[in-house]
């Protein structure tokens, strides 16, 4: 159980992040619901989890690509909800294109949000973890960062970068009792995958179904729990066997 813990989840207005926020709240954690543009959806998540689980929760707008905004929000969360114990770097975007056609903007947007965003929010939270002598960092990578996917050179690079970041941070902070792990989802049913050819993916998935946001949330809650205190620097696929 996570009673008394404070969690900051980026990209928690929708999809996987919203499911992670719900799951952590269901185990008693106070949750900072970080979002970028979707104020209504973020407030709805906050209302739902406070009404359902009776925990403290609040929505905070922050573009994770900005270190300044991440630092400000981390400070605000610490003073309003309490010192942060659990950071879930989940915010992410895609701008798929073949490399020959990919614009510099498409490449930069994905790297700035997915990779630099995880660096920024981790940097914003790390002093608090060191001071508290405890912390859990959970980064959402992707099977795209493990195997590479055609049309996703920007996204695959960002998610492979998140894995490198995870391992370096895990080594740096282990002596401070801070763990850092990555989850690599496969094809999960969210806004991000709407419009993709789900049927062709299902054929390649040994468990013969798409993933649900809750499949990722369960593992995030485990990695945040005391039961996972001896796991760090690990990358765990939750993909129905897709990238095996």
Catalytic-residue membership of 35: no
In the range 64-93, which residues lie near ligand NAP by CB under 6 A? Answer: 64-65, 90-93
Q: What angle do CA 78, 84, 88 make, to 5 degrees?
A: 125
Contact with ligand NAP (CB under 6 A): which of 80, 172, 191, 214? 191
Q: Residue 187, interface with ligand NAP (CB under 6 A)?
A: yes
Q: What does 157-172 look like in DSSP terms, one character per residue? A: HHHHHHHHHHHHHHHH
By CB under 6 A, how many residues form the interface with ligand NAP?
31
Q: For the CA atoms of the chain, what is the radius of gyration?
A: 17
Distance, CA of 208 to CA of 202 (rounded, Å): 5
CB neighbourhood size of 47 (10 A): 12
**Which positions from 109 through 128 interact with ligand NAP, judged by CB under 6 A?**
113-114
DSSP state of 208: -
Inter-CA distances, 31 with 72, 101, 209, 229, Å: 17, 40, 30, 20
The C-alpha atoms of residue 107 and residue 128 are separated, in whole angstroms, by: 32
Of 49-57, 63-71, 75-83, 219-227, which segment contacts ligand NAP by CB under 6 A?
63-71
Determine, following the binding rule CB under 6 A, whether residue 235 of this chain makes contact with ligand NAP: no
Residue 175 Cβ vs ligand NAP, minimum distance, rounded to whole Å = 28
Rounded (5°) CA angle 191-71-6: 70
CB-based contacts of 72: which residues, under 8 Å, 6+ apart?
62
Least spacing, CB of residue 180 vs ligand NAP, in Å: 16
Cα 73 from Cα 196, distance rounded (Å): 34
Q: Does 146 engage in binding with ligand NAP (CB under 6 A)? A: no
Pick the stretch among 8-16, 44-52, 129-137, 226-234 that binds ligand NAP (CB under 6 A): 8-16
Q: How far is the CB of 215 from ligand NAP (least distance, A)?
A: 10
- Could you say which of 22, 25, 88, 142 contacts ligand NAP (CB under 6 A)? 142
Closest CA to 87 of 121, 47, 42, 45: 121
Distance of alpha carbon 59 from alpha carbon 188, whole angstroms? 24
Q: Please, which residue, 76 or 177, has the CB nearer to ligand NAP?
A: 76
Does 36 bind ligand NAP (CB under 6 A)? Our answer is: yes
- Residue 166 Cβ vs ligand NAP, minimum distance, rounded to whole Å: 13
182 is a contact residue toward ligand NAP (CB under 6 A) = no
Minimum CB–partner distance for residue 136 and ligand NAP (Å): 17
Active site residues: 155
Point out which residues bind ligand NAP (CB under 6 A). 10-11, 13-17, 35-38, 41, 62-65, 90-93, 113-114, 140, 142, 185, 187-188, 190-193
């Amino acid at each position: 159980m996570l009673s008394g813990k404070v969690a900051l989840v980026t990209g928690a207005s929708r999809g996987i992040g919203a499911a992670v926020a719900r799951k952590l709240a269901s185990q008693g954690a106070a949750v900072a619901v970080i979002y970028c543009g979707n104020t209504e959806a973020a407030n709805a998540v906050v209302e739902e989890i406070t009404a359902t689980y009776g925990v403290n929760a609040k929505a905070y707008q922050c573009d994770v690509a900005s270190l300044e905004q991440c630092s400000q929000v981390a400070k605000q969360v610490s003073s309003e909800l309490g010192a942060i114990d659990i950071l879930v770097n989940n915010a992410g975007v895609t701008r798929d294109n073949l490399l020959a056609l990919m614009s510099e903007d498409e490449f930069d947007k994905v790297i700035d949000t997915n990779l630099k965003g995880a660096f920024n929010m981790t940097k914003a939270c790390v002093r608090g973890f060191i001071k508290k002598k405890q912390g859990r960092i959970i980064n959402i990578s992707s099977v795209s960062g493990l195997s590479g996917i055609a049309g996703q050179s920007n996204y695959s690079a960002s998610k492979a970068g998140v894995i490198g970041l995870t391992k370096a941070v895990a080594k740096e902070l282990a002596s401070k009792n801070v763990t850092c792990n990555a989850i690599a989802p496969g094809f999960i049913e969210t806004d991000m995958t709407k419009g993709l050819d789900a049927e062709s993916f299902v054929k390649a998935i040994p468990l013969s179904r798409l993933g649900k946001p809750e499949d990722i949330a369960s593992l995030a809650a485990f990695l945040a729990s005391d039961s996972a205190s001896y796991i760090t620097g690990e990358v765990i696929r939750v993909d129905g066997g897709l990238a095996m």
